[in-house]
Structure 1
Amino acid sequence: MTPDTYYNIPSILYYNISWLIITYSLNFYPTARKEKFMTNIKKVLYLYVIYGMAYFSWFGIRAIQPKDIQYHVLIFLIICALLTIYRVIFYAFIRNYRLSGGNYVNVVVIGRDKNLKKIRKVFDNPYYGYRYCGFFDDSQSESPTYLGNIIDCFKYIIDNRVDEVYCTAAKLSRSDLQNLINFADNNLIKLKIIPDNKDIYTAAMTVQKYDKIPVLDLRTVPLEADFGRMAKRVFDVVFSSVVIITLLSWLVPLLYVLIKLESPGPLFFTQKRHGLKRQTFNCIKFRSMTCNGEANLKMATKNDRRVTKIGRILRKTSIDELPQFFNVFMGDMSVVGPRPHMEQHTSDYEISVDKYLVRHFVKPGITGLAQIKGYRGEILKPSDILNRIRLDILYVEKWSFLLDFKIIFLTIFNAFRGEEKAY
């Protein structure tokens, strides 16, 4: 160890205070009942990245020149590993404790609608520690969990020591709700209200508060957050710069000669495509076809006569897509994202494919989730475009750096293996 670096009051205060500030800013420590180890794994990674920056900044602040930087990196990695192991053990302990009957809460539901079956899936999961007692509703039911009319709930809640009450707003009048609120407040019972969804709930929905008014945001996009957007842009600039300098710097002149020898025309093929917020940009590719008038209207098909001999190799290996790293560097695209479509196809699909334009909430990518799942290239049947859009929307809603790295790795793997629809 190096006492001058770690075993002194300023260092101890700095490392601990910075940890507390960062964890507080990320709202890291509050643990919800339905939280598991993987629930906030993205937040854990953000914490390690941000704290890592603060950790190594201390060397610069105190003008410390560590003799062995690998040693200090190892110390930081050990800290992260120990914290991760602690979280695994913590959640495993909570799970086992609840499975053995500890840390549970008794719950009832007031008012029955079609959401009851969905919320029962949560209550019936022993990991969460809920004990579902049943439901009250003024409509009679033969269900074994039916407990009686709504008016009967008050006595039952007191007699059975119910901890939480879930109310279906659509089944209760304003006066009923107010009575339940007053009753819960006066008896130390938590009251939770299930709003009338009108079949509009989505997996990406969040609740925001405008003053005291709850507002449902049906389309939460992780990349709209400043940190995620900026971090992804930094990654894009660094990654694209490396590819341009180490690969395209010598590949461009080589392919210029090979492409020119086979067919007349430019080295690059540029095409108007739609990107972020449906804005148009010039998408760059190595030209893999003979110059033709259908390039902006018709996608390449199997055994397409327009594709040149060198073009078949470029398309089979996806090398024709590499100039799009210039688009990434300029900010029109990202390394990973939904593939950009030509203008004509966007005009067609936004009318015929439900939720098609959701994919334009983020920048298009050189590769994407749909592509690694096999939905690339020619659209042969309606399910091809439907599955592609489904996966594009899933990426928009579930973006993370881990997902990006997985997509990049599988894209490289598939390029070496060869893909059936790469033609």
Structure 2
Amino acid sequence: MIVNDTKHNYLLQPLIASIDILILIGFAKLFDFSSHSYLLFSVYTFFSWLITTYSFGFYSVYRFTPLVRILSIIGKQFFLLIFCSFTFFGIFSEINISIRAVLEYACLSMGIIAILKVTIFNVRKKFRQQLGSDTLRVIIIGCNPKTERLKNFFNYNPAYGFQLIANLNLLDPEVTIDSVKEYILNNNISQVFCSIAELKNKEIRELIHFADNNLISLKFLPDNKKIFTKKMEFQYYGITPILSLRTLPIDTPVNLFLKRLLDLTISLFVVIGILSWLTPLIAIIIVCDSKGPIFFKQKRNGIGGNEFYCFKFRSMKVNGTADATQASKTDVRTTKVGSFLRKTSLDELPQFYNVLMGDMSVVGPRPHMVAHTHSFATQVDKFMLRHLVKPGITGLAQVSGYRGEIETKRDIKNRVRFDIFYVENWSILMDLRIIAKTFIKVIYGDNKAY
């Protein structure tokens, strides 16, 4: 299972950003502002800070980011703050503030922000070094000067949180690609660093295939060989260059925060505004139609392949095949009320509780039954990549014609193809478009809704 460097930051980084904005707005009190001018400057500062920090990666600080890099982005942001401040007073020339006052404001507020940023970075490093928490279990494949430098980087920099478990040498007759794969699975390895210089093209493809299907983060120490992939990221660990095979747009603290904010906003609206009064009505109808519970819960696979209970309004008679057999168009298990609930997608509404609990997202790859996940993982290449993000109530595949029953192998292959495209190309705008298309399909009906 992948352990991502940034997922644990999705609340911390937005919290730090909020504190930074409060510092900027707070020190603006030093200016001789009227109430109207202060409000105007606060709103301008809020948006200009968010835009500039996001555009120039002010909060893109990871466990392996060197302190020099942090000081560099602080310096760039300092000049951007001065530029934005002077731009404001240039636009609103009627607000009379001296140049010295603007520079003092920028130096004081940015100084506090810089101290806070560096302090938090160092505290987290001490936390990893002394308590051994927040660590990633890694292995290195290969034995050459580059892997030796990376090995030394991990061993002599425990504050970065990389726990080197093994350095495997493929030149050793006892070490094969199969034994490496077995070692990774048996030792709960999060990241694998490979020296391309010691891998054949066939072995590279085999490792990529294995990593994709087992949710392992695969990174390469480059040489003159070429790896073709849509998403590559070039990073430095110390002075050792590293190529990361797959980088996802959602794997940044800001994007994780924005997606979670969208999920909470929509799910709270549905739970409070719709389910609060609709649930009792549906419950009465379900109970009157057939015997059994109001809600149906089923184990499904979520992010990282972890299992969770997915909730629905019960639409079928109580039966013993619910965890193994999909619903079909002429399914005799479906009740009269259940047929209406499924056609209108009302049976899916309780999944907004899953969204509130954090097991699901409003938009994402649809979760499958555990039995189907195990089956498809062996039948469909890269099927497990769907689990790099939270599953969704709706998804790109569903609004593209691949909702409901999987009748042929072509159906699941196309669903996975759309899901992987979503994972690799996610954006908030894409989520909003999918939500809008889902709403339209619910209003006008969907042939696959049964």
**TM-score bucket of the superposed structures, by smaller chain:** 0.5 to 0.7
2:364 aligned with 1:337, yes or no? yes
Q: 1:348 maps to what in 2?
A: 375
Q: 1:385 maps to what in 2?
A: 412
Alignment partner for residue 247 of structure 1, among 262, 269, 274? 274
Q: 2:295 maps to what in 1?
A: 268
Q: 2:52 maps to what in 1?
A: 23
Cα deviation code 1:369-401 (max 9, x no counterpart): 000001111111111101100111111111111
Structure 2 residue identity aligned to 1:245 = I
User: By how many angstroms is 1:210 displaced?
Assistant: 2.0
User: By how many angstroms is 1:205 displaced?
Assistant: 2.3
Contact 2:258 2:428 in 1 (8 A): no
Distance 1:23 1:254, change over 3 A: same
Does 1 or 2 have the higher relative contact order (CA < 8 Å, sep 6+)?
A: 2
Contact 2:406 2:412 in 1 (8 A): yes
Calculate the TM-score normalised by the size of structure 2: 0.53
User: By how many angstroms is 1:17 displaced?
Assistant: 10
> Where do 1:1-400 residues align within 5 Å?
4=34, 15=44, 19=48, 22-23=51-52, 26-27=55-56, 196-198=224-226, 200-400=227-427
Distance 1:4 1:207, change over 3 A: same
Structure 1 residue identity aligned to 2:251 = E
Structure 2 residue identity aligned to 1:349 = F
Q: 2:436 maps to what in 1?
A: 409
Q: Secondary structure at the match of 1:224?
A: coil
Q: Please provide the CA RMSD for this pair.
A: 3.1
Contact 2:264 2:355 in 1 (8 A): yes
Distance in 1 (alpha carbons) for counterparts of 2:274 and 2:43:
43
User: By how many angstroms is 1:26 displaced?
Assistant: 2.4
Distance 1:238 1:305, change over 3 A: same
Contact 1:201 1:218 in 2 (8 A): no
| Pair member with larger Rg | 1
| Structure 1 stretches lacking a partner, 5+ long | 29-50, 59-168, 171-193
Distance in 2 (alpha carbons) for counterparts of 1:327 and 1:248:
13
| Structure 2 stretches lacking a partner, 5+ long | 1-32, 58-80, 89-195, 198-221
Q: 2:133 maps to what in 1?
A: none
Distance 1:372 1:17, change over 3 A: closer
Q: Secondary structure at the match of 2:250?
A: helix
Cα deviation code 1:315-341 (max 9, x no counterpart): 111111000000000111011110010
Cα deviation code 1:286-329 (max 9, x no counterpart): 00011111100000011111111111111111111000000000
Cα deviation code 1:127-165 (max 9, x no counterpart): xxxxxxxxxxxxxxxxxxxxxxxxxxxxxxxxxxxxxxx
Distance in 2 (alpha carbons) for counterparts of 1:250 and 1:407:
26
Q: 1:41 maps to what in 2?
A: none
Aligned residues: 261
